[in-house]
Amino acid sequence: MIKLIKPALMMLLIWTLLTGVIYPALVTGLAQGLFPAQANGSILRNRQDKAVGSGLIGQPFSGTLYFWGRPSATAPYPYNAGASSGSNLGPTHPALADAVKHRIEALQAADPGNKSPVPVDLVTASGSGLDPHISPAAAAYQVNRIAHARHIDPKTVLAMVQMHTENRQWGFLGEPRVNVLTLNLALDAIQ
């Protein structure tokens, strides 16, 4: 019996060291050396060097001075990174239709002069509920509201949107997008 236990314990020790210590240390070291910003959460800082969020996780912005991101379906509060999920409501579910209707009404109330169609990503949550990006069309939809609230030229705000529009990853993956947090930080920096 001891003959069987000794090799089993040795294998347990070896595999614990390999998969529980050596491999994680190697991956962590490589990540810190090659991609330090991403390995540490893609933290964004304001002009006072205070951490204000992550470039990978959306944040709730509701004031008229700021661009608004996609709605979040996480619980118990929006953009809860510990509870990433969508709403799980199907496209014909009455609760989803009602939520979209209320979001459209809120956008129209915030900018009553805007008669453009509301981009879908401003009224529907992403699959994770944490998406930090909106489409360039969703950002352009909000330009006049923000320019009016900040008392600056809409062309200046539109130019900032264009400066902060990220292209497709590697030129072919995904769609062009705008990170709401970085854009709002840039707006704060010019005022």
pLDDT of amino acid 143 = 96
Mean pLDDT of 156-179: 94
Residue 175 has pLDDT above 90, yes or no: yes
Say which amino acid occupies 58.
G
User: In the prediction, which pLDDT does 125 show?
Assistant: 86
In whole angstroms, give the CA distance from residue 29 to residue 80: 28
- Bigger pLDDT: 130 or 17? 17
pLDDT grade for 166, boundaries at 50, 70 and 90: very high
Provide the whole-model pTM.
0.81
State how far the Cα of 122 lies from the Cα of 141, in Å rounded to an integer: 9
CB 138 within 8 A of CB 121: yes
Over residues 138-152, mean pLDDT: 95
48 phi and psi angles, rounded to 5 deg: -90, 10
The contacts found for 92-95 with CB under 8 angstroms, 24 or more apart, are none
Rounded CA separation 134/130 (Å): 11
